[in-house]
Amino acid sequence: MKTFLTFLVMVLLAIGFFMTSSSEAADKPIVLKLAETHPQDYPTTKGDYEFARLVKERTNGRIIVEVYHSKQLGEERAVIEQVQLGAIDMTRVSISAVSSFVRDLDAFQLPYLYRDAAHMWKVLNGPIGAEIFKKHEPFNFVGVGWFEAGSRNFYTKKQVKTVSDLKGMKIRVQQAPLMVGMVEALGAVATPLPFGEVYSALQTGVVDGAENNWPSYLSTSHYEVAKYLITDEHTRIPEITVGSKKVFDKLSKEDRAIILKAAKDAVPYQIKLWNDFEKVAEKAVREKGSVITEVTPKEKTKFMDAMKPLYDKQPAEILAVANKIRNVK
């Protein structure tokens, strides 16, 4: 009898132990690390936080997206490699940064491709956008969501008034073959560098200029070391949140859907912040002494014409997608 009682107590204890540990496991949230290059108060980072808030709310805290802003986890290229390996769960980057892995993205970042932001969003939210998300999977990525990033302008240490003024200038570009090709099409010397190295490259004269949107021109303080900006608006490059396929494959179908939906629902908030900050940034750099050259429509046409050799070099599949994009009305 005594042995039986001891046995019973042990069984009950064991059941108790397993119940606690399994419920503890169930209580422990799934933590997904998201890497972001921008500072905490930048519109894109705030968009990441909104995405994280929605994921937490909709999973009752079962899934937590932790945002690591300000390059805490590294520069974009290194981070993307880590996402591919599954060491970092997600990252918000420019599609340029991913395009050296997913080359099909080139069709989405060609110069003078979209008529305006509304056109770009129609493309991203439609079947063409869904298709390119699918094309991330063979490279071990999951397309999670898009964010707004406005349009990009050249800014230089010496004033550029016409497209031909760019000839021979050393221009920093993102580490992406298409961006190298774009600057070369203009007769300039492309210098691919990580984002965080651009300020000192401009300061020390390693490069004569760079290109980015108004918010980044301000937040990086590049305006201090390259005070001439020309409003040529050569590209409109969406931001993307990419996930690690290795990590996403371990999530349930339902959780994946919640995450993707949260990324979509965070977009209007991010666009609103973006549009407001774009104006603030433009005003701020003007006040801080940047010299802004407004391109005339005629000069803009010259910029567009100068990009033609870049289009001519693109593979037929890229041009086919670019044409589909142009035809979205």
Please give the structure tokens belonging to residue 327. 């035809």
Q: How far is the CB of 74 from ligand GTR (least distance, A)?
A: 13
Q: Compare residues 97 and 310 and give the one whose CB is closer to ligand GTR.
A: 97
Could you give the angle at the alpha carbon of 299 between the alpha carbons of 202 and 293, nearest 5°? Answer: 45
CA distances from 205 to 5, 144, 158, 209, 293 (A): 83, 38, 11, 9, 22
Please give the structure tokens belonging to residue 88. 């970092």
Binding site for ligand GTR (CB under 6 A): 37, 44, 76, 93-94, 96-97, 149, 174, 195, 212-213, 216, 239
Sequence letter at residue 184: E
Q: How far is the CB of 253 from ligand GTR (least distance, A)?
A: 30
SS3 141: strand
Q: How far is the CB of 75 from ligand GTR (least distance, A)?
A: 8
Beta strands in 108-169 (DSSP E): 141-147, 151-156
Q: How far is the CB of 120 from ligand GTR (least distance, A)?
A: 14
* Neighbour count for residue 39 (Cβ, 10 Å): 13
Q: How far is the CB of 207 from ligand GTR (least distance, A)?
A: 12
Closest by CA to 129, choosing from 120, 140, 137, 117, is: 120
Q: Cα separation of 124 and 127, whole Å? A: 8
DSSP string over 139-185? GTEEEEEEE---EEEEEESS---SGGGGTT-EEEE-S-HHHHHHHHH
Q: How far is the CB of 155 from ligand GTR (least distance, A)?
A: 12
